[in-house]
Structure 1
Amino acid sequence: MSTALSPEVRTSALDRMSRDVLDVLVIGGGVTGAGAALDAASRGLTVGLLEQRDWASGTSSRASKLVHGGLRYLEMLDFALVREALHERGLLVGRLAPHLVHPVPFLYPIRHRVWERAYIGAGIALYDALGGLLGRRDGHGVPLHRHLSKKGLRRVAPSLRDDVAVGAIRYWDAKVDDARLVQVLVRTAVGHGALAASRTQVTGYLEEDGRVAGVRAVDLETGREITVRARHVVGATGVWTDQTEELFRAQGLTVRASKGVHIAVPREAIAGEDGFILRTEKSVLFIIPWPTHWVIGTTDTPWDLTKDHPVASAADVDYLLDHANAVLERPLTRDDVLGVYTGLRPLLQPVDEEAGGTTRVSREHTAATVRPGLTMIAGGKYTTYRVMARDVVDMALRDRAPGEDPDAPIPQSLTEELPLVGADGYRVRWNRKAHLAAAHGWTEKRVEHLLDRYGSLVDEVLALVDADPELGRPLEGAPDYLPAEVVYAVTSEGALHLEDVLTRRTRLSYEQADRGTASARAAADLMAPLLGWDDAQREREISTYLARVEAERAAEAMPDDTSAERARLRAPEIRPFADAS
């Protein structure tokens, strides 16, 4: 079955959702909602998935882009959470998504020769043990930690200041192309029969005998109003959990939003191949290596403003630069900052907790049937999305709908054994990268870039290039990307707007100093015939994206959250929301 997310597939999905009665309807197209749709579809259920923006347009494309156990949670003695997360890390690296989740080494600088090395070393050894690595030679592709002397640290991290550490511990976690993983989850779910539609806003709900029986929704692309009937509705809306419950006149979970800001700096700004994990007065700071840049983050501060467009202020950017510069030989400046992105963590708040800081709020998740027919999931972390998805589907199915056999067994989750699209055959194609490069006149680095974005689905991208060699030349303004990738984003990955391509199908919005503006017109020209845009719509797509970049840059110069948000909200929406009731 096809996994393409084309405009035609989206339209067909909305048509079918408006006709059929679904077993499960999932609201929210972030990593948890996409995971829930896949979990339910792979159990043999009829499934719908609705997202009011683009896939992963909220928190799930704006995190630290790490798949990790949460080393700092060991100090909180949260061993179960760490063990669970490390198990999921092993699954993603080794089986589920090896094309998108890759091991990465981190250095933990040691400032005291004896007690700190012993204390931190014991913690990281426990981290390896909880991950199931000790006694195993492969460790799901994640190596064991090792200690480095000061000389050894200097060799692998020449950019580190000489006076900040007497050595280090080198351990491994994993990094993820987070937005692409969500899109791949959706595509995998569609391949197993799920119906998925982005840019579709839920505006109300259907009720039968006091039970939620579906939703009213608006296709924001056309203005078409539909009703979708379902035996079970699952809400996976992250920081919008409270608003979702209000829409459904339900109450059960309370979520607090914590703002996390990240900056990207050029690869040449920091020498070495290893990332860093650094203690701060509030939490930890990661400096994470990517092929063309480093990601530095994150902040962790309460966010009480509009959740649609969280932005960084000047104070946030300075905070990250200051903490990175505390250990770097050559200080980073504002001129080094290529891009900035900001996300909101959905932190589950216990009922009896008073308002305060967010750094110690639990990352564990909770699923709850908040009224008959509606089950919500909140909390958690990106790494454990699969467990969250399994738990919320289990709970939803236990809430039996009228006509369902109360004694029928609940189908078991299969996602632990289910590779995502692009995973099967990825390593085979990696072994053939020299051949693929020679066949298309590319460097092996170019092929590695494609394989680490598409896995075995690279065959579909290469087919576009074979049909039109012009699509195999570098994209204007973005030498690391191909025009074929823009075309593929529309025909197979669900991109409906220019911002979808420049911010989530690619990473141009933060990994290049121009933030994708130099590629905006070339990308829009490629997208226009595929999406039926006339000249006016194409110009609107370009001007809206440019206005967004300008507004985000203006926000980053503001001193606080309130003024930064005011600057960001000056940019128009490409698709305004409908009134909800």
Structure 2
Amino acid sequence: MATSIRLRRLGAIAAVAGGAYTIVRQPSFSSNDRGDKLSALETFRRKISDPFAVVPPRNTQEAALIGSSLANPLDILVVGGGATGCGVALDAATRGLRVGLVEREDFASGTSSRSTKLIHGGVRYLEKAVFNLDYGQLKLVFHALEERKQLIENAPHLCHALPCMTPCFDWFDAIYYWAGLKMYDLVAGRHLLHLSRYYSAQESVELFPTLARNGKDKTLKGTVVYYDGQMNDSRVNVALACSAALAGAAVLNHAEVVSLLKDEGDGRIIGARIRNNLSGKEFDAYAKVVVNAAGPFCDSVRTLADKDAKPMICPSSGVHIILPDYYSPDGMGLIVPKTKDGRVVFMLPWLGRTVAGTTDSNTSITMLPEPHENEIEFILDAISDYLNVKVC
């Protein structure tokens, strides 16, 4: 059994694709800076459709960053090469902006390679929207469903629809989950992947042979299966970085921001001092806007701008364990909607194995957080009630 752990961020920050970003200072674009967006987008589309297109080599990427100056700065410099940072770089580059991105380690080396591998449509947000009469949560579901379908269509070699089974041990649960997931189908509309449906206990065991017929002193009544997306998170992240590079962004991994450059007159952030962690050499990169996309490490970048900046990140960790393939059939996931403390636990097929998780607990910020034994035991205990094989 293997374990993985990721850091998550909670705080007054905007979250996109599993990361977080804050703009260090307000942009000051002129109409000329924006360029012809439609022309840039068409050029980019031609590049990525070209089977012979090649991502510029590392020395070319570094030279583009070094070539920026006070007189000719980049439009945007992104700090952090996770899903959010690479997504910001790609979005900006396809709008015709001059973009640079630096990542201290490797692309997707942090949170963006340690997810549950799901592309959520937001089924739990739909439940909150209904019971709390919260239109904001409903809007979030609409947006998540649209982006889920878009991501699967854009990268079918890295993303696909995955059926997820929810076991029901009493008839109330069966009716509740069936009705809720039918509403989920309705909200998805044209972004629907596949219709959810109810399966009898016998049909469920045939689809998921390790599913227990008896659990929690109750007998399995059936299951409700719905569809969400699954992705190879780290490869999607790298694909974003490569696409940004093809669109004209200068993306450089193993490049750490050691300080931020400030205008001597008004103290504005005008760029960053960057160290190439492979060669040890340092250089300056100038930009009109610096975007902090360092995920759980956002505060360390913020203190470079203002040493008195108050922390805004409340980190928590999520643990996943990797189990043998026989725990779950290929192409079918299992969702435990209510564990003993109310959390949700997934058990999903992944690259010939089964990934189970996740926990959610407060933690300190480290590059390689270690899982605690009690978190591993919690996951094993949560899934053992639903399986007819010994979980250890």
TM class, shorter-length: 0.7 to 0.9
User: Does the CA contact (< 8 Å) of 1:28 and 1:236 recur in 2?
Assistant: yes
- C-alpha deviation, 1:6, in angstroms: 4.0
AA aligned opposite 1:324: I
CA, structure 1 residues 248+3, in 2 after alignment: closer, same or farther (shift >3 Å)?
farther
Aligned partner (choices 317, 332, 335) of residue 277 of structure 1: 335
Structure 1 residues 311, 98: CA separation in 2 closer, same or farther (over 3 Å shift)? same
Does the residue aligned with 1:239 lie in a helix, a strand or coil? Answer: helix
1:38 and 1:186 in contact (8 A); partners too: yes
Tell me the residue number matched to 1:198. Answer: 253
Q: Matched residues in 1 for 2:211 and 2:56: separation?
A: 45
Quote how far apart the aligned CAs of 1:150 are: 1.2
Whether 1:306 aligns to 2:362 is no
In the alignment, the residues of structure 1 paired with residue 206 and residue 240 of structure 2 have an alpha-carbon distance, to the nearest angstrom, of 40
Distance 1:25 1:48, change over 3 A: same
Q: TM-score, normalised by structure 2?
A: 0.78
Q: What residue identity is the alignment partner of 1:58?
A: G
Once the two structures are TM-superposed, the CA of residue 16 in structure 1 deviates from its matched residue by 3.3
Q: Which runs of 5+ in 1 are unaligned?
A: 134-138, 334-581
* In structure 2, C-alpha distance between the alignment counterparts of 1:122 and 1:192, rounded to whole Å: 44
Structure-2 residue corresponding to 1:178: 233
TM-score when normalising by structure 1: 0.53
Partners in 2 of 1:292 and 1:196 — Cα distance?
32
1:32 corresponds to: 84
- Paired residue for 1:393? none
Task: Report the equivalent of 1:394.
Answer: none
The corresponding residue for 2:108 is: 56
Q: Report the Cα distance in structure 2 between the residues aligned to 1:186 and 1:273, rounded to whole angstroms.
A: 28
Shift in CA distance, 129/254, structure 1 to aligned 2, threshold 3 Å: farther
Contact 1:109 1:168 (C-alpha < 8 Å) held by counterparts: yes
Find the counterpart in structure 1 of residue 270 from structure 2: 213
Contact 1:46 1:193 in 2 (8 A): yes
Q: How far is 1:10 from its partner?
A: 4.2
Tell me which of the two structures has the higher relative contact order, counting C-alpha pairs closer than 8 angstroms and 6 or more residues apart: 2
Which deviations, in whole Å up to 9, do the C-alpha atoms of 1:21-47 show, x marking residues without a partner?
A: 101111110101100000000000100
Match of 1:128 among 185, 188, 199: 185
Q: Tell me what 1:106 maps to.
A: 164
> 3-state DSSP class of the match of 1:131?
helix
1:261 aligns with 2:319: yes
Q: Which amino acid aligns with 2:168?
A: I
Instruction: Give per-residue Cα distances to partners, 1:98-147, cap 9 Å, x unaligned.
Output: 1111101000111211x3222212211122222224xxxxx56x211011
Please show how residues 18-417 of structure 1 align to structure 2 within 5 Å: 20-77=72-129, 78-94=137-153, 96-113=154-171, 115-133=172-190, 139=191, 142-164=193-215, 165-208=220-263, 209-249=266-306, 251=309, 254-271=312-329, 273-278=331-336, 279-280=338-339, 281-303=341-363, 305-333=364-392
How many Å apart are 1:4 and its aligned residue?
2.4
Instruction: Name the SS for the 1:126 alignment partner.
Output: helix
Q: Deviations over 1:186-228 (max 9, x none)?
A: 1001001000111111111111222111111111111111111
Q: Secondary structure at the match of 1:217?
A: strand
Runs of 4+ in 1 over 4 A off after TM superposition: 17-20, 250-253
Question: Which residue does 1:366 correspond to in 2?
Answer: none
RMSD: 1.9
| Partner secondary structure for residue 388 of structure 2 | coil
> Which structure's residues are more often strand, by fraction?
2
8 Å contact from structure 2 (residues 99, 249) kept in 1:
yes
Amino acid aligned to 1:103: A
Structure 2 Cα separation of the partners of residues 190 and 272 of structure 1 = 35
Instruction: Please tell me whether the aligned partners of residues 271 and 290 of structure 2 are also in contact (alpha carbons under 8 angstroms).
Output: yes
Instruction: Tell me the CA shift for residue 82 of structure 1.
Output: 1.9
Contact 1:52 1:198 (C-alpha < 8 Å) held by counterparts: yes
Which structure has the highest helix share of the two? Answer: 1
Could you tell me which amino acid in structure 2 is paired with residue 109 of structure 1?
Answer: P
**Equivalent pair of 2:62/2:250 in contact (CA under 8 Å):** no
Whether the 8 Å CA contact 2:299–2:311 is kept in 1: the answer is: yes
- The 3 A distance-change label for structure 1 pair 231 and 223 is same
- Whole-angstrom CA distance in 1 between matches of 2:355 and 2:68: 40
Matched AA of 1:71: V
Q: What is the CA–CA distance in structure 1 between the aligned matches of 2:69 and 2:369, rounded to whole Å?
A: 33
The code of the aligned residue for 1:290 comes to W
Letter in 2 for 1:184: A
CA shift for structure 1 position 271: 4.2
Say if 1:18 and 1:263 are closer, same or farther in 2 by CA, change over 3 A. Answer: farther
AA at the equivalent of 1:320: I
1:323 maps to a residue whose letter is A
> How many angstroms does 1:252 deviate by?
8.0
Match of 1:38, SS state, is helix
1:253 is displaced (CA, Å) by 7.6
Between the aligned residues of both structures, percent identity stands at 35
The one-letter amino acid of 2:333's match is G
Deviations 1:375-423 (A, max 9, x none): xxxxxxxxxxxxxxxxxxxxxxxxxxxxxxxxxxxxxxxxxxxxxxxxx
CA distance in 2, matches of 1:255, 1:181: 25
Q: Once the 2 structures are TM-superposed, how far is the Cα of residue 268 of structure 1 from its aligned partner?
A: 2.4
Give secondary structure in 1 for the equivalent of 2:189. coil
Q: Is the 8 A contact 1:156 1:273 kept in 2?
A: no
